[in-house]
Structure formats: C-alpha cells, structure tokens
Amino acid sequence: MKFLGLAFFDTDLQRDTVKITPNGFAIFGLPTPDDQEMPRGIFWSCYHPEDRQGAADRFASDLRRDFDRDDYCERVRILHQQTGETRWVEFIRRMFGPRGQRTQIVDILRDVTELMPADASHQEPSTR
C-alpha cells in the first residue's frame, strides 16, 4: 500500500518531543512507536548531512523569532533511514509562543521528492 506522502507533527518544545502521524515515520523510514511520540532530535539526525546545519540555524532563528514570523514553509533533504535514499520533504509550519519562548510547533509535512527536478539532489534547501 502506498502512503499518501502527508504527515502531521505536533512538537512540544518544553518536553522536546514530537508526536507524529504514522505516515511521518514512513516518510523518514523510522519505526512507529506505540504512542507515536519520540524525542525531536531523532528527526534532526535524518536530515541530509549537507542540509542539517543550515536547517538547524534557520530553526533556531525562528525559535528566537528573528524573522518576526510564526509560520513558514521549508524544503529540505532527508535520508530515508531504511533505504538510505535521499528524499525531499516540505514542512509547512506554525510556531506558537512569544519571541524567544516558543512552546509548540504544528507542522504539515509532505514528501515532495517526485515534484523535484532530476538534478535536485544537489540544490540548496529553500525557505519561503
């Protein structure tokens, strides 16, 4: 059965955990825990090594609210944990909480690999 390629994330920044619909685990190639919750850092380790630091820097800036935005969209490459395949994912994100004190993030994640040009594995990630 082919999954839809969409997932929903609910991140609790105070607990540093994320609760995800099963499709999210499938997109990343991770096993689905019974409670569908795991430490947030596990997903960071799935980011493509060339994209990880830039994505972490942008995320930290958004937590501080450097860009004065609560919602945005970002595309990054990940490495599927079962196949090692490079995949493109897009996060459509809404952050909650005051500047420097974010408490929650809600994301819609979608696998956009099939939408990327054939040479996209060498492109820089984007933020809109």
Q: What is the set of domains in the chain, with CATH numbers?
A: 8-115 (3.30.450.20)
How far apart (Å, rounded) are the C-alpha atoms in residues 59 and 46?
Answer: 15
Tens-place pLDDT, residues 21-61: 989 999 999 998 888 889 988 888 999 999 999 999 988 88
How far apart (Å, rounded) are the C-alpha atoms in residues 59 and 114?
Answer: 25
pTM of the predicted protein model: 0.81
Residues facing residue 47 across a β-bridge: 78
Tens-place pLDDT, residues 50-99: 999 999 998 888 888 777 788 888 999 999 999 999 999 999 999 898 87
Note whether 114 and 85 are within 8 A (CB): no
Alpha helices in 65-116 (DSSP H): none
Residue 28, H or E segment: helix 22-28
